[in-house]
Amino acid sequence: MDIKGETVKQYRIINKFALLVSIIIITLNINTFKVNAKANTNLNIDLNNKIYSLSNKGSDNLLDNLMVALTGKINGYEVVLNENVVGYTVLENNLENIKSEVLKKYISENSIREDMVKSFDIKWDINLREERFDVEMLQTNKEVVDNIYNIAEKDPEKIRISVNYIKEEVNNIKPSTIIIPTEDLYLGESKVEEGQYGLKKEIKEVISESGKVVNTKTIKEEIIKDQVSKKIYRGTKNPYEYGVAFLNHPTRGGVMTSGYGERWHSFHKGIDIAGNIGDDVFVAMDGEVIYAEYNDGGYGNLIIVKHEDNMSTYYGHLSDFNVKVGDKVKKGNVIGKVGNTGFSTGPHLHFELRVNDEPVDPTNYIVQ
Ligand SMILES: [Zn+2]
């Protein structure tokens, strides 16, 4: 609106209110926010402890602005988002400034480093509409920006902010595991040497949209400190060959009622251990279950577990199975229950050790 005709009057009023003018502090504020291509040069006027950003296009504007202080009305712009007024400003070129401030706030709220921003985009339907309104309506740029930012947070459909930035992270490298066979230990024995975490710097390209990370791509990795592998030494020495007791007792207690070897007109391939129906049967060493069903050759319910170095153990006459074929078992796991199935004259466990599929006398290999 043209108010040039009132210039003379204005000057008179200005003289009268020289005191008022003196409390108007004018500061030149140069906004150097990096992502904003053009530096905005604004005048900030402190009125009643409220800072107003005003353009500095010439002394005429300054006069207009001083008039505002005296008449209470202002020529300015409504900030219109999707047809709704979301703020008031007097800067005709303020949109770029608002945009960079909204973005700056987004970056700060999402802990993004300003100097790491590669590109950004704000999708919104926003414009400035010329209007005359009460000076009381005028908002500071911060108020306009905060209001718009809140809308963006609540309604990303109205304002979609996306920022593409670079992020540097220092992360741990988990130690790898190496298994080292060793003749220093017997089968089933192992020794662990713990590893150490390493450190690596990762440079990532991140896309953040409406407050959420929607894409992350590692573009560079730099090892700061190498990890040290965890080493598991696994025994390969066969205890059977060395006459060392290595089998876990297959039941909890129980007397051996029949030994290995010739028995009447047959050959007893294992040992019998007395027990009660339902007693736990424990596997003698680590292995894999390769048989778990009724066997009509006399064993009744039978479990066969295969171990390293072509050894296996047999558990016969069971009343129940706790495992099935394919299960990996650890020394001492309960695999079944003592029973009286098959050719059996009373509840007991028939236990066999086979080496290269040949039954051997297990007696001296069971740890008592
Ligand atoms: Zn037997």
pLDDT at 14: 46
pLDDT at 15: 42
Burial class of residue 209, CB neighbours in 10 A (0-12, 13-18, 19+): middle
- pLDDT digits 0-9 by tens, 258-269: 999 988 788 999
- Tell me the CA–centroid distance for residue 258 and ligand 1, in Å: 7
- Tell me the CA–centroid distance for residue 320 and ligand 1, in Å: 17
Q: Name which residue leads in pLDDT, 245 or 72.
A: 245
> 75: pLDDT confidence band, cut at 50, 70 and 90?
confident
- pLDDT digits 0-9 by tens, 149-195: 999 999 999 999 999 999 999 999 999 999 999 999 998 889 999 99
Task: Identify the CA nearest to 187 among candidates 84, 44, 330, 286.
Answer: 286
Element (H, E) at 172: strand 160-173
Rounded percentage of the chain residues whose pLDDT exceeds 70 = 81
- Tell me the CA–centroid distance for residue 351 and ligand 1, in Å: 7
- Tell me the CA–centroid distance for residue 125 and ligand 1, in Å: 88
- Tell me the CA–centroid distance for residue 238 and ligand 1, in Å: 25
DSSP class of residue 364? G
Sequence-ordered list of residues with C-beta below 8 angstroms from that of 94, at least 6 positions apart, any chain: 53, 77, 79, 128, 141, 144
Gap between the Cα atoms of 22 and 45, Å rounded:
12
Q: At which residue do the structure tokens 């005028």 appear?
A: 138
pLDDT at 72: 77
> 246: pLDDT confidence band, cut at 50, 70 and 90?
very high
- Tell me the CA–centroid distance for residue 304 and ligand 1, in Å: 14
pLDDT at 113: 92
pLDDT exceeds 50 at position 6: no
- Tell me the CA–centroid distance for residue 263 and ligand 1, in Å: 10
- pLDDT digits 0-9 by tens, 80-114: 999 999 999 888 888 899 999 999 999 999 999 99
Return the minimum-mean-pLDDT range out of 24-28, 276-280, 294-298, 358-362.
Answer: 24-28
What's the average model confidence in pLDDT over 273-299? Answer: 96
pLDDT exceeds 60 at position 28: no
pLDDT exceeds 50 at position 8: no
- pLDDT digits 0-9 by tens, 217-240: 999 999 999 999 999 999 999 999
